[in-house]
Structure 1
Amino acid sequence: MPAAPDKPVLLTGASGNLGRVLARELTALGWTLRLTDLAPFPDPLPERASFTRMDLADGVGLLRLAEGCGAILHFGGISVEQPFGTVLGPNIQGLYHVYEAARREGARVIFASSNHSIGFHERPQGNAAKLDVDCAFRPDGFYGLSKAYGELMGRTYWDKHGVENVNFRIGSCFPEPTEARMLATWLSFADLVRLCEAAVTAPRSGHCVIWACSNNPASFWGRDHRDRIGWQPRGQCGSVPRQGRPHHLGQPGDRALPGRRLHRDRLFPRQALGGGCLRSRLSRAPRQRARSCSARPGGKRRCCPGRAPPSPGCPAAAPRCWRPCRSAPTRMRASPAPS
């Protein structure tokens, strides 16, 4: 087990799901942490940790908070697909403030990137070669675009200022896998903690990119720079429980798990936004709910065309149904013209 760092470590995004895990586990290993987030820290503050509520837009405040730190674990910012204006401030301007603080302190940056930065690559099928970290960026939305920008900023600060940085292309980091796609992308909490340990304590990292997933046999991803920091995952995802039975990685034509969409060929579903970019899922949801059902005379409800309810009854506020409906008409009836 690596020794605890001599200098404090700054952790941004400490109030998020992964930040809370890291705060708890790293302080248990004897690390001194400076936690920060825009939201209050929801858990009891661990020993050897302090918390400062701060916005990433506060560049001067971040410079002060990073004084004397040997590394910055940057897990802050927007973590889901959002409109560009929402992503711009925390994920672009905030990242710049983090790197400026690291440059001044000579600290190493550990950046929580994402596989959404390459999400429009096709899944390797059969004996096809897996994706290596030197593959081209193909972000699947504004969130993924901000993560690609973050990796490029790390490249720039290493080449121009000598700021070391380790970029984690995180797959799906949850307590346990919950859907078929996670057979390839799952990262256990224990592997995440060990990855952060290795990234902070490695003698030298330069600029490196690592596929942050556990040792999953069905992984989409191949070579990366993990040897530079001496990290090897130990966890493994072999099956996902589905009504008491293991569910293996889907192939083209397989049905998704209930409530989840398993895309057939790409790492993430292709959705339309004007010229072909991703539309925010949040912006799609209201229209799906509005089309889910329509009232019939007598108070009964009819499923949306070609769909059947996932459970008995189909309330109007439910998400769009998943299974084909044999009895439903193929087209919605037009409303009668007013007399």
Structure 2
Amino acid sequence: MVQTLPNLEVLSTRAGFNAAVRHINTTIHIADIIKNHNVGDLLFDGESEGLSGEEIALLLRMLLVDKLGYQARSSNLATVAVDPAALAEEFARWSAVDLLAVYHHPELGLLAANPKDPAQLTAWGGLKKWELLVIYAGDAGKGAEGLCRKAAETALDLFAGIKTKILAELYRGNFQVKKPKKAAPAHSGTGERKRGKLPPERARKKAPPVLPTQAEPPVFTAAPAVTGPLRMTPRYSVIVRNELFHNGNVEAWKRIIDSYNTKYPELQVYIYYDGERILDINALFKWGKVKHGSSIQFSVAGNDIKDVAKLQRYLIQGASPQFEAFLRGSVSTVLRLF
């Protein structure tokens, strides 16, 4: 009888071997601290740094299914719930089980979250129809596989916005999780800054409106590869205040987003119109379909998201009759906005 060996081809190269070692070390580390912790909390807190979505899927299969015996159910959502905070409030009452939700985001890839935490569900930026969602449920005690299976099935229905009967047994239990401990932020600055006061000559003044300025063309280098689960903001609306979102508005948006990406190359801006993602901003002014009063939405994705409010403020101006402020200078220059 011929013995079938596992596929070890990945170990034949130095890079593959090192990647396998990192994955194994991370898995062992999480396995050591997983007791009384939710895996979603650990991943959300940065324990998965350096792991791709595919590697996280392997980690969850090994730890939750093989090691802990969690029950898993999956579905491509035909309908979706619209209030993640309400879902988290309901799941938080399920003291009989531990839950983990894994969503295959169309732009960000695999995302894992503790569905009892509204912040983690909000970080997904909303669910989309027909995308894959997997629910893991466990820790209800020995012989409670049936309850865990029912919990996973019920959670899927709630994520799909389907009204369903919730077993009373899910509300009776002693399962509790510990939140991962975060390191205290390092203190910096003078004593006055720590007390929230500054000398009169350094007192903060109300900043005047920022006008677009030009910077020398930057030296572009390859952006660092972003690994691990990303986070995405909710979709923010920008109301078109120009009579028509024409070519000038489009060019203003391009330069605003280019400025943002130059300052934060690890972040990505997604544009949506009428519920669909826009891959080419030029499509927004074709045939004059985006008119005064229309709503264009955007989201920002990454690991350390910054300056979203400022980006929204500039995009609002870029969609108004004041768009020309962003078109000054050569098209080869990058505006210094952020």
TM-score > 0.5 by shorter chain:
no
**Higher RCO (CA 8 Å, separation ≥ 6 residues):** 2
Of structures 1 and 2, the larger Rg is shown by 2
TM-score using structure 1 length: 0.29
TM-score using structure 2 length: 0.29
